Amino acid sequence: MPAPLPTSASKRKSAARHLLLVFAVTALSLAPTCGKRKPPLPPIERIPQRTERLTGTQRGNQIILSWPAPLRNAGDGSVQSIRRVDVYRVAEKLRAPLPMTEEEFATRAILVGSVTYDEIKKAGVNLTYTDTLELTEPARLRYAIKYVNASGERAAFSNFFLMEPTARVAAPPTITGKEESEAANTIIWEAPKANIDGSTPVNLLGYNVYRTAASTAAQNPLNQELITATQYQDKTFKFGEKYIYVVRSVSLSTEGQRVESLDSNPLELTQDDKYPPSAPTLAQPGVAPGRLALFWSASPEPDVAGYLLYRSTDPNAPKPWTLLTPAVYTKTTFTDQNVEASKTYYYYVIAVDNAGNKSQPSEVVSETVP
């Protein structure tokens, strides 16, 4: 006997079972998996790939390029770590067209040098590269740099920096001597006899003086205005601090700008404070029963630490007399109450500076206690 045909009710039950099976499989696929959750991945560090702030300046026969150091760099193990900066240069004729594409620059440029990984790691605010030239004929120089990462991949070129270096830059001066005084360190030098290309007359506008100390590097010249003499007085020095001085000639560039020479020979100078302050002026003592009041003028030197007051009853006694102030005394008045009636006392005062230098004694004054 043949099997009965399925009814519409049985078809509906089969479709419902099939739909429930689909829902179950979908729910299982969306259920959370077993095991620990992994911590979220840190954001990917974005490494600067180029700079748009390449600039430079001429000093003597050198072009000193400068640009901001990358604010962040990937770790040593990352392929994104900037491992060096390549410096490129194109020499052009002065009247060559100013526009140049990156493709044309890449074709014509030569690699003049690189900033190493050690220099990048030690960099402060800026990175620098010095290109030493042989200034034989006028030319326009065009520079650009490229970052290179640990896998050897090169970034795009930076902006172009253009410079028309001046060949007739005065040679550096020669420091020949110094003079030391309480008020200043005086640096003395000899003027250059020729320009760096050997030509004369010397293209000389004046000089700038730089000072480097252990605590601060020389960023700007000490002089506010260009020096036209061959000596300079540094009145801002501090006793006991080691300084290194250099002088640079200043010339006029082909573009009408000022160009400095390379550094002169350095002069190292440390001046100890060996200068005593001037002697105070001690006034006639004021008289009162059982006491004598003493007054003196302050010494004008800014490094005076205080005063020492001495007393004796014998004006011919060898000095120093009895010290009334057990330590350096910072006031300019003193009341002597350890006195006896009808007795005459003699006084003098000396000034002492921060280095321990003592002035000459003041004039001796005297008074009799009533």
Over residues 110-126, the pLDDT tens digits come to 999 999 999 998 888 89
For the chain, percent of residues with pLDDT exceeding 70: 84
- Residue 267, token pair as written in the block: 């002069």
Distant-in-sequence, close-in-space partners of 19: CB < 8 Å, separation ≥ 6: none
| Mean pLDDT, rounded, of the chain | 88
The pLDDT assigned to 132 comes to: 96
pLDDT above 70: residue 24: no
pLDDT above 70: residue 65: yes
pLDDT above 50: residue 176: yes
pLDDT above 80: residue 78: no
pLDDT above 70: residue 265: yes
Over range 246-261, report the average pLDDT: 93
What letter would DSSP give residue 328? -
The whole-model pTM stands at 0.74
Which residues lie across from 64 on neighbouring strands?
Answer: 57, 130
The pLDDT assigned to 254 comes to: 80
> Where does residue 176 rank: exposed (0-12), middle (13-18), buried (19+ CB within 10 A)?
middle
pLDDT tens figures, 191-238: 999 999 999 999 999 999 999 987 666 789 999 999 999 999 999 999
The pLDDT assigned to 39 comes to: 61
pLDDT above 60: residue 241: yes
pLDDT above 60: residue 165: yes
Nearest Cα to 361, choosing from 123, 352, 28? 352
pLDDT tens figures, 288-317: 999 999 999 999 998 999 999 999 999 999
Distant-in-sequence, close-in-space partners of 178: CB < 8 Å, separation ≥ 6: 185, 186, 187, 188, 267, 269
Q: Name the band, by pLDDT with cuts 50, 70 and 90, for residue 136.
A: confident
The pLDDT assigned to 123 comes to: 85
Distant-in-sequence, close-in-space partners of 136: CB < 8 Å, separation ≥ 6: 167
The pLDDT assigned to 2 comes to: 46
CA distance linking residue 141 with residue 132, whole number of Å: 12
pLDDT above 60: residue 356: yes
pLDDT above 60: residue 11: no
CA distance linking residue 105 with residue 156, whole number of Å: 12
CA distance linking residue 190 with residue 175, whole number of Å: 6
Among 147-151, 171-175, 204-208, 346-350, which is the least confidently predicted range? Answer: 147-151
Q: Name the band, by pLDDT with cuts 50, 70 and 90, for residue 251.
A: very high
For the chain, percent of residues with pLDDT exceeding 90: 73
